[in-house]
Structure 1
């Protein structure tokens, strides 16, 4: 049995998501376990090359994790012929130029989303990748979450009968930064830097909806900046110019209606930070990051509306949890392993840059709906 080492240029790993999920819990975890084991018995081992703007931070990360190569020069990293993959976890506004540079250098591309600031920029990336003939992928981490894996299993089994509707609640309170430090970076709240929850989360909701329920055909949405003054990492106040909440109604193929609230200005009163309730003629389910609970048609209670008396039913106790009857690993790592396997096999990745553009289509339609106060039909899906 043989082991092939794949060197990966990782740009933006000093940020929270790039460091925790992609470097530590994915690539370094794969390396520590001896690589990705293939059905043939062969292995794909990985070795990161760290890239970023702050050489001191990169040096500290490299020393902490035993990483040999790091640089603050993307051009220098891309000139390394031994590295075959470029990964991008930078701020959105810096992503397009770096990916185009990496494609020109012949690297396979794996990137966080949004893949660009606009559909037009995303299409430029798609065309460049296709012309270069490289394997390309976009992070679709939520499809690998235990709760959504269980939900997908229910859908595939026919549990719901006819699917009717989806209701999603996502978000939590992000502190303004004056009394308590904010738990998200300040650029998230500046439109000029690629901030905004619509741009951030509608890319996620598009791939969740299209892969579980069906393509989004139309959207009615409202994007709002509820909190207009925030404080940055240096303690300086600034005006928030990006939306911190988005309220959307999505019309899916098959006459399914999805409603999803996304907010960084909401206090949590639910089991998990994101939950989806799916209702069908034969049953319903509530799925979060980890849990999934069901209520079949045959065991659905019959509540009666009576505003004069408090209810005597404990509604949440009337649902049944789907068991963890398989081992669920980190979702980011699971997709990294899938992408690495596709690169070595020379085959397309299922969640490619075109999928990233479809997410941007929903973002632009949602923002247009909010600005014009009307329902927007989406253009034909980019494939």
Structure 2
């Protein structure tokens, strides 16, 4: 029952997602609860080392949360042999350079996605990690959330029979920034800074689809920029050069057809910001990030189309909730704990850099599809 400490270099956690989900709700939460429990009953305690560009922001974060170390010198942090893990939450355009540095330094790698801006860059990073023999993982947070864990439970139990199709709806209205401040950073809407709906969200859709239903074999997508002008954090107008919506059809292995609409220019009329409906011969389910409802074959009503009479059925009431049956941790923290246990055991992490490469493959195929106006096959790369 031996306990152990591990120091983790965390680069980019002054940003919204890096701070809230990775630092505050994952690593600091683990630290404050005494570390990750090991199989032998011991504990693996975590100690973050903050890295970033702003000394003022880092100093304030460290003081607020009782963090002993921070630096604006990433090379200095990577040279520290007592910190074996490197985490990256930088903007996408900076990720390749920082990941390759960390791999060269012999660090275990855990990174946000997209892991790079292109498939070629992603392959370079994954091959470098393989050659160096370092443990590596990519954030797949949505797989660890209650709604999709329940959906995976249904798939594993054979609930659906033969799965036919998937329909996904994601998005919300991101304010332009003129009348009301935008709730997403402005770089998300500049292609030159690594922004764009396809690059951001298709990496998510790839790992959700391949880990729950099957790998993507082909894609047809139309990517568009609905809002051509936005206002940045300083209130200055700028041209939105990145796509802010994407409408995709994906063919999965086994002949399953998935349709996913992704938009930052849509007003929400659903229970959650993202929902997936899976239909099969024996039943259907609608899963969000937290809830999951089902309707089996024997419970399926028989609506009749009659345009002359108003519909008197309340269709949402005809579905049943899938019970929790267990306690669900924060999805980001749950994967952090899995990654740390893999590091401690010296075994590979199941969501590795090659998974990140496959996400980029889907991105490239979707953008090619949008530009060419045709279906594009997604080749198996790893």
Give me the whole-angstrom Cα distance separating, in 2, the residues matched to 1:288 and 1:92: 26
* Alignment partner, residue 257 of structure 1: 257
Cα offset, 1:2, TM superposition = 1.5
* Alignment partner, residue 16 of structure 2: 16
Cα offset, 1:324, TM superposition = 1.6
* Alignment partner, residue 54 of structure 1: 54
Deviation readout 1:281-309 (Å, 9 max, x if unpaired): 00000000100000000010000011111
Q: Secondary structure at the match of 2:363?
A: helix
Give me the whole-angstrom Cα distance separating, in 2, the residues matched to 1:139 and 1:224: 26
* Alignment partner, residue 85 of structure 2: 85
Give me the whole-angstrom Cα distance separating, in 1, the residues matched to 2:28 and 2:88: 16
RMSD: 0.5
Give me the whole-angstrom Cα distance separating, in 2, the residues matched to 1:162 and 1:153: 15
* Alignment partner, residue 236 of structure 1: 236
Give me the whole-angstrom Cα distance separating, in 1, the residues matched to 2:109 and 2:325: 34
Matched, 1:7 2:25: no
How many residues are paired up? 382
Cα offset, 1:43, TM superposition = 1.1
Deviation readout 1:202-245 (Å, 9 max, x if unpaired): 00000000000101000000000000000000000000000000
* Alignment partner, residue 372 of structure 1: 372
Give me the whole-angstrom Cα distance separating, in 2, the residues matched to 1:344 and 1:329: 21
TM-score by length of 1: 0.99
Q: Which 4+ runs in 1 deviate beyond 3 A?
A: none
Cα offset, 1:35, TM superposition = 0.3
* Alignment partner, residue 343 of structure 2: 343
Aligned counterparts, 1:149-188, within 5 A: 149-188=149-188
TM-score by length of 2: 1.00
Aligned counterparts, 1:26-105, within 5 A: 26-105=26-105
Matched, 1:221 2:243: no
Matched, 1:334 2:363: no
Give me the whole-angstrom Cα distance separating, in 2, the residues matched to 1:212 and 1:107: 30
* Alignment partner, residue 285 of structure 1: 285
Deviation readout 1:323-346 (Å, 9 max, x if unpaired): 121100100000000000111111
Give me the whole-angstrom Cα distance separating, in 2, the residues matched to 1:8 and 1:308: 65
Give me the whole-angstrom Cα distance separating, in 2, the residues matched to 1:197 and 1:2: 46
Q: Secondary structure at the match of 1:254?
A: helix
Give me the whole-angstrom Cα distance separating, in 2, the residues matched to 1:22 and 1:3: 23
Give me the whole-angstrom Cα distance separating, in 2, the residues matched to 1:72 and 1:308: 68
* Alignment partner, residue 306 of structure 1: 306
* Alignment partner, residue 362 of structure 1: 362
